[in-house]
């Protein structure tokens, strides 16, 4: 049996959260989505609050992944320990709040979701994501999962592409997050792993990767503003649908989507 898995690109600010609330429930119906993973590390601008996370869960996210702003909201650190459905990068130091992977009921069997962070121009204290994946894939409980999904939050496209090839045939899907620009390389790799270099972003359609245009331009023009302003509507949602066989764990189709 096939199931449709939706991965949603970085939710940015209150407009991104509002867009999820407005668009995601209908999107799940339109694409017959069985399971949805949302990257929410910018839902509060920098980081995610417990209230942000609960809104995303209420409106269709089954699991939330994070990234380099995992600790951006200090009031969320206890929440990361308490809520098993929100993940921070697994290759962070062992004592970090929360967890980097989880096994969840996908309706058609167990689904393992793994969150990673890249090393190039990212957090220097993170371990090598490739070695971390080797360690995780040796865990008996992960080995027992047919469907394994990986969110690599990384700056370098080469690092993301390399991870896709490294995990080709070993996991069901690999996608990149962080750069907020959707790439055009959604594909089923040669050994049955679904892949896209970056899901894109959920937030302001007309801003600059989630920021208000005037704020972003001020940095490039050398005229920094005293106060940042939230970007105005309309919002957009970007992500990718992966069709995965529940018996083999192989991906048979990948479709990048964008909805306003």
The model's confidence at residue 44, banded by pLDDT at 50, 70 and 90, is: very high
Q: Active-site residue among 59, 69, 178, 180?
A: 69
For residue 230, the model assigns a pLDDT of 84
Q: How many domains does the chain have?
A: 1
For residue 226, the model assigns a pLDDT of 75
Task: Please state the rounded mean pLDDT for residues 55-62.
Answer: 98
pTM of this structure: 0.95
For residue 228, the model assigns a pLDDT of 78
- In this prediction, what percent of the chain has a pLDDT beyond 90? 83
Is residue 153 annotated as part of the catalytic site, yes or no? no
The model's confidence at residue 105, banded by pLDDT at 50, 70 and 90, is: very high
The range of the structural domain enclosing residue 136 comes to: 2-259
Q: Kindly report, residue by residue over 109-157, the tens digit of the pLDDT.
A: 999 999 999 988 876 689 999 999 999 999 999 999 999 999 999 999 9
Which CATH number covers residue 181? Answer: 3.60.21.10
For residue 246, the model assigns a pLDDT of 97
The model's confidence at residue 211, banded by pLDDT at 50, 70 and 90, is: confident
SS3 annotation, the chain: CEEEEEEECEEEHHHHHHHHHHHHHHHHHHCCEEEEEEECCECCCCCCCHHHHHHHHHCCCCEEECCCCCCCCHHHHHHHHHCCCEECCCCCCCCCCCCCEEEEECCCCEEEEEEEECCCCCCCCCCCHHHHHHHHHCCHHHHCCCEEEEEEECCCHHHHHHHHHHCECCECEEEEECCCCCCCCCEECCCCCEEECCCCEEEECCCECCECHHHHHHHHHCCCCCCCCCCCCCEEEEEEEEEEECCCCCEEEEEEEEEC
For residue 122, the model assigns a pLDDT of 78
């Amino acid at each position: 049996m096939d199931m449709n898995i939706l991965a949603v690109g970085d939710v940015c600010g209150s407009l991104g959260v509002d867009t999820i609330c407005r668009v995601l429930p209908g999107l799940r119906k339109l694409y017959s989505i069985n399971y949805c993973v949302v990257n929410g590390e910018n839902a509060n601008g920098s980081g995610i609050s417990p209230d942000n996370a609960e809104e995303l869960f209420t409106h269709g996210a089954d699991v939330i992944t994070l990234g380099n702003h995992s600790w951006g909201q200090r009031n969320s650190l206890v929440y990361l320990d308490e809520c098993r459905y929100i993940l921070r990068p697994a290759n962070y130091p062992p004592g970090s709040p929360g967890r980097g992977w989880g096994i969840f009921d996908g309706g058609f069997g167990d689904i393992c979701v793994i969150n990673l962070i890249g090393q190039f121009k990212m957090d220097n204290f993170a371990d090598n994501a490739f070695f971390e994946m080797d360690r995780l894939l040796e865990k008996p409980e992960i080995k027992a999962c047919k469907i394994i999904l990986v969110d690599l939050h990384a700056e370098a496209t080469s690092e993301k592409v390399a991870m896709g090839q490294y995990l080709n045939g070993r996991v069901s899907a690999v996608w990149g997050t962080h750069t907020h620009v959707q790439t055009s390389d959604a594909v089923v790799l040669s050994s049955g792993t679904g892949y896209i270099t970056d899901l894109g972003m959920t937030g302001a359609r007309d801003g600059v990767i989630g920021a208000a245009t005037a704020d972003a331009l001020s940095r490039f023009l050398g005229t920094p503003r005293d106060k940042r302003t939230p970007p105005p509507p309309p919002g957009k949602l970007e992500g990718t649908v992966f069709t995965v066989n529940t018996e083999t764990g192989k991906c048979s189709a990948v479709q990048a989507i964008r909805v306003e």
